[in-house]
Amino acid sequence: MQTTPLPSFGRLPFTLSGLRAGFRACIPVSVGVAVYGVLFGLLARQKGLSFLEAESMSLFVFAGASQLIALDLWGPELPVFSLIATTFIVNLRHVLMGAALAPQLLRLSAGKAFGSLFFMTDESWALTLTRWAEDRRRGALCDGGFLLGAGLAVYTFWGASTALGHVLVRGLDDPARYGLDFAFTAVFTALLVGLRPRRADVLPLAAATCAALLAARFCPGKWYILAGALAGGLAAASTGPAKANPPDGTSPGTSPGTAAGTAAPGATAPGATAADNAQPKADA
């Protein structure tokens, strides 16, 4: 652990090219997100939400799972408090995701950090995490713009596809018919592989997997993500010594957030290659 005081690490860059790299890297995943945006727009219309209501939800709430769950609760007698409380609970996993990016976000201005967080989704979070881990591995500075760029890609596709689903689509096949329901599993699997877990990560990963499987079986909604994350974290906290910081000097010594960075020497970040390869899926 270094003892250098925090300020000496300075600010991270936040550039337009970083933002564009994030946007490009996130396009393939965003195409998958858009399939569900169309579905949301269509279901919202069937539930009686006006275009204004459906589109406001996609642009201001901007959280796929909680929006689809909200449709379930939506009715003539609006359960205002259940809707808001359910939304918060479904999104609790974001607390841990935001905390995991803190080492980098704390080195941006508050406006940039908290502004970027508005656009953070599971997908853009995961891409940014692996990209910044790869940057740290190579001893390069992380570009703070990447998170915002990746988030904006999802945001654009989500907003546009909601409108499309509400206005145009009269009927939609089940995405599972084309295997598209599996696209997200595939993306997150690839990102997990990109972190190149080491031997020390086996126990936390096993704990996370078991807890997630149990929670998915017995609890509704997205509780399984939070349950698995907490189980993995607790397993790691109760065993073994902390991993040493990588010798790149880019991480604040007092910070926990070597998180992603330590996981994986020598991996190719999916995010890095995604930029050169951003054509949408042929079958989407």
Partner 1 sequence: MMDAAALSPLALSLATICGMAVATYASRAAGLMLMSRISPGPRLTRFMQAIPAAILASIVAPSALASGSAEAMATLVTALTAWRFGNLPLAMCAGVAAVLALRPLLG
**Structure token pair of residue 226:** 């939070």
Is residue 218 part of the contact set for partner 1 (CB under 8 A)?
Answer: no
Please pick, from the candidates 186, 218, 249, 265, the single residue that binds partner 1 as defined by CB under 8 A. 186
In terms of Cα–Cα distance, which of 255, 263, 192 is closest to 228?
A: 192
Residue 64, phi then psi, degrees to nearest 5: -55, -50
For residue 264, the minimal CB distance to partner 1 (Å) is 9
**Which member of 16, 167, 172, 237 binds partner 1 (CB under 8 A)?**
237
Cα–Cα distance for residue pair 134/138, rounded to 1 Å:
6
Cβ contact 21:146 at 8 Å: yes
User: Of the candidates 192, 221, 246, 248, which one interacts with partner 1 according to CB under 8 A?
Assistant: 192
Which contacts qualify for 56-60: CB closer than 8 Å, 24 or more apart?
Answer: 57/162, 58/158, 58/159, 58/162, 59/155, 59/159
Which residue's CB is nearer to partner 1, number 65 or number 170? 65
Query: By rule CB under 8 A, what count of residues binds partner 1?
Result: 117
Instruction: Rank residues 19 and 215 by Cβ distance to partner 1 and give the closer one.
Output: 215
Distance between CA 245 and CA 13 in Å, rounded? 21
Nearer to partner 1, 170 or 256 (CB): 256
Question: What is the per-residue binding string for partner 1 in 40-79, x denoting contact by CB under 8 A?
Answer: ---------xx-xx--xx--xxxx--x---x-------x-
Residue 170 or 222 having the CB closest to partner 1: 222
